[in-house]
């Protein structure tokens, strides 16, 4: 089945530094990928839609200059949390939509990245 690899699985960084998270579709092409954030005991919140070769679309309230998204190929999207602060500590999850989907969309999720900012 479709596999999405997300790396790293865990990262601890110092406040003020930047962290990059990678999301790769391993066996399918994904023009569109999605980035979610999940706080403890809460549901996944969609942050942005990443489109290959164009600018990402951010959900309301998500700072695009803080959460930089790059989707340079059909199999890779990256999320960079810039100038991270403790309140950015969260579980970040990516999802890729299979370009091969016809009548319905097939979405596969990565295993998530636990970010802790100290």
Partner 1 sequence: DAKTTQPPSMDCAEGRAANLPCNHSTISGNEYVYWYRQIHSQGPQYIIHGLKNNETNEMASLIITEDRKSSTLILPHATLRDTAVYYCIVPNQTNFGNEKLTFGTGTRLTIIP
Binding site for partner 1 (CB under 8 A): 4, 6, 34, 36, 43-46, 49, 91, 93, 95, 104-112, 114
Question: Cβ closer to partner 1: 20 or 114?
Answer: 114
Q: Which residues pair with 79 in a beta bridge?
A: 21, 69
- CA–CA separation, 20 vs 42, rounded Å? 23
CB-wise, 36 or 75, nearer to partner 1? 36
The CA distance from 106 to 85, in Å, is: 34
Residue with tokens 């990402």: 56
Provide, rounded to whole angstroms, the least separation between the CB of residue 63 and partner 1: 19
The residue among 19 and 37 lying less far from partner 1, judged by its C-beta, is 37
């Amino acid at each position: 089945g479709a596999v999405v690899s997300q790396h790293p699985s865990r990262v601890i960084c110092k406040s003020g530094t930047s962290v990059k998270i990678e999301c790769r579709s391993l066996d399918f092409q994904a023009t569109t990928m999605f980035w979610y954030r999940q706080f403890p005991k809460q549901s996944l919140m969609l942050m942005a839609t990443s489109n290959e070769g164009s600018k990402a679309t951010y959900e309301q309230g998500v700072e695009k200059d803080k959460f930089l998204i790059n989707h340079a190929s059909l199999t890779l999207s990256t999320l960079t949390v810039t100038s991270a602060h403790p309140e950015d500590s969260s579980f970040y999850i990516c999802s890729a939509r299979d370009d091969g989907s016809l009548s319905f969309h097939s979405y596969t999720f990565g295993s998530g990245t636990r970010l802790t900012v100290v």
